[in-house]
Amino acid sequence: MEKAVGSGRIITIPVVTDDGQPIEDPASAALQENKPFDTAHSPIEEQQINNAPLHKEVTQWKLTLHQIGLDVVRTDRTLVYYENQENQAKLWDILAVYSWIDRDIGYCQGMSDLCSPISILIEHEADAFWCFERLMRRLRGNFKSTTTSIGVRTQLSVLSSIIKAVDPKLHEHIENLDGGEYLFAFRMLMVLFRREFSFVDSLYLWELMWSMEYNPNLFSMYDSDAYANRRKGAIGDKKNMLEECGKFERKNVKAGQKDHQAPLSIFLVASVLEAKNKRLLKEAKGLDDVVKILNDITGNLDAKKACDEALKIHEKYLNKTKVS
């Protein structure tokens, strides 16, 4: 459908209009990069040349390609890795194909931040794609949006409940600033702290979160039912199951927590807010001040310390909401 995918180049200019008509000279981006452009046309390109209307889904997909390109060139641009345009193209390929595979979500800003570490660490492009697709099974709900809600809002609501339980004074202050929906924490949860922590620290956080959240009984959420059924025979009694759980999930099970809408990432956000508790209470006179204080943490957070504090908050929260 689009020859740029897999060509080693990316698209940063629109290739179709809103009604699916081709925009003249789609090769201009390639020419600017001094790369040859294949003049042979795919069936869909022939369809465009003959002014035949593209299928609505194809048009919608093509409309996103240049936006993906614009985000790709801004993603982790300080890393030497992306000085090589072929590496940028690899990231663009993965996101372009994913936006076609998952048409309910398509492409949203923030996905490039999540995909970049995978693209860097996994050399083979197809392997990197399927790893990213697996990651999105866990996170795609964050990107769902309607005219009345955004996907990550559920997690923000849980964050509000956690702060209200463990630090009612801070929660009340934030509510008085009309920030009770905690939208200022949107980015942290959406891209899993890629902007707040260094590249290496964010990878440390990801690995720690997902290993500590592991629960063999919930494995079917992320893998095939067949694998989950095979696991059931190996789990044994509750004691053995608890031993197989990650540390974070083990505490949830012991405390009788049945709501798994509170992943460790939410407690990490809570730990960031608690770390800035005094400044928020003293200096924040409006939501703009809250955003400014939180923006000051970018690149200045210690991942291990944040994790330690998140686990302490998690334990405190479980004690305050303990199921009798």
Tell me, yes or no, whether 159 and 294 share the same domain: yes
Tell me, yes or no, whether 63 and 135 share the same domain: yes
272: domain CATH number? 1.10.472.80
Output the pLDDT for position 322.
Answer: 74
Output the pLDDT for position 213.
Answer: 86
Whether 242 is in a domain gets the answer no
| DSSP per-residue codes, 185-248 | GHHHHHTTTTTTS-HHHHHHHHHHHHHHT--GGGGGGTS-HHHHHHHHHHH-SHHHHHHHS-HH
Whether 10 is in a domain gets the answer no
- Domain range enclosing 196: 153-213+263-320
Whether 53 is in a domain gets the answer yes
Output the pLDDT for position 260.
Answer: 52
Output the pLDDT for position 321.
Answer: 82
Q: Flag whether pLDDT at 37 surpasses 50.
A: no
In this structure, the dihedral spanned by the alpha carbons of residues 155, 160, 165 and 169, taken in order and rounded to 10 degrees, is 160
Residue, of 29 and 62, whose pLDDT is higher? 62
Amino acid letter, residue 271: S
Tell me, yes or no, whether 138 and 163 share the same domain: no
Whether 201 is in a domain gets the answer yes
Which pairs from 153-159 meet CB under 8 Å and 24+ separation?
A: 153/181, 154/261, 155/189, 155/261, 155/263, 155/265, 155/266, 156/181, 156/182, 156/183, 156/185, 156/186, 156/189, 157/181, 157/182, 158/261, 158/262, 158/266, 159/185, 159/189, 159/266, 159/269, 159/270
What does the alpha-carbon distance between residue 30 and residue 301 come to, in Å, rounded to a whole number?
40
- β-pair partners for 145: 150
Q: Give the domain-ending residue among 94, 117, 143.
A: 143
Structure-block tokens of residue 281 = 């209470």
Read off the pLDDT of residues 293-310 as tens digits, 9 standing for 90 and up: 998 887 678 889 999 999
Share of the chain above pLDDT 90, in %: 54
Residue bearing tokens 């990231």: 91
Nearest Cα neighbor of 323 from 245, 238, 258, 264 is 258
Structure-block tokens of residue 103 = 């048409």
Nearest Cα neighbor of 96 from 124, 60, 121, 127 is 60
User: pLDDT-derived band of residue 44, with 50, 70 and 90 as boundaries?
Assistant: low
User: pLDDT-derived band of residue 239, with 50, 70 and 90 as boundaries?
Assistant: low
Whether 244 is in a domain gets the answer no
Whether 276 is in a domain gets the answer yes
Residues of the chain by 3-state class (helix, strand, coil), percent to 5: 65, 0, 35
Residue, of 67 and 38, whose pLDDT is higher? 67
Phi, psi dihedrals of residue 241, rounded to the nearest 5°: -60, -40
Tell me, yes or no, whether 177 and 310 share the same domain: yes
Burial of 203 (0-12, 13-18, 19+ CB in 10 A): middle
Output the pLDDT for position 101.
Answer: 94
Read off the pLDDT of residues 66-94 as tens digits, 9 standing for 90 and up: 999 999 999 999 999 999 999 999 999 99
Tell me, yes or no, whether 139 and 65 share the same domain: yes
Tell me, yes or no, whether 124 and 202 share the same domain: no
Output the pLDDT for position 106.
Answer: 93
Whether 221 is in a domain gets the answer no
Structural domains in the chain (count): 2
Read off the pLDDT of residues 157-177 as tens digits, 9 standing for 90 and up: 999 999 999 999 999 999 999
Span of 40-44, 115-119, 120-124, 230-234 with lowest mean pLDDT: 230-234
Q: Flag whether pLDDT at 129 surpasses 60.
A: yes
Tell me, yes or no, whether 132 and 163 share the same domain: no
Q: Flag whether pLDDT at 235 surpasses 60.
A: no
Q: Give the domain-ending residue among 95, 111, 143.
A: 143
Q: Give the domain-ending residue among 143, 164, 182.
A: 143
Output the pLDDT for position 264.
Answer: 92
Residue, of 222 and 280, whose pLDDT is higher? 280
Tell me, yes or no, whether 70 and 204 share the same domain: no
What does the alpha-carbon distance between residue 197 and residue 192 come to, in Å, rounded to a whole number?
9
Whether 274 is in a domain gets the answer yes
Q: Flag whether pLDDT at 43 surpasses 90.
A: no
Output the pLDDT for position 222.
Answer: 45
Tell me, yes or no, whether 120 and 198 share the same domain: no
Tell me, yes or no, whether 43 and 61 share the same domain: yes
Winning range, highest mean pLDDT, from 197-211, 238-252, 297-311 = 197-211
User: What integer is the mean pLDDT of 44-60?
Assistant: 65
Tell me, yes or no, whether 40 and 166 share the same domain: no
What does the alpha-carbon distance between residue 10 and residue 8 come to, in Å, rounded to a whole number?
7
| DSSP per-residue codes, 101-143 | H-TTT---TTHHHHHHHHHHH--SHHHHHHHHHHHHHHHGGGG
Tell me, yes or no, whether 122 and 100 share the same domain: yes
52: domain CATH number? 1.10.8.270
Output the pLDDT for position 257.
Answer: 67
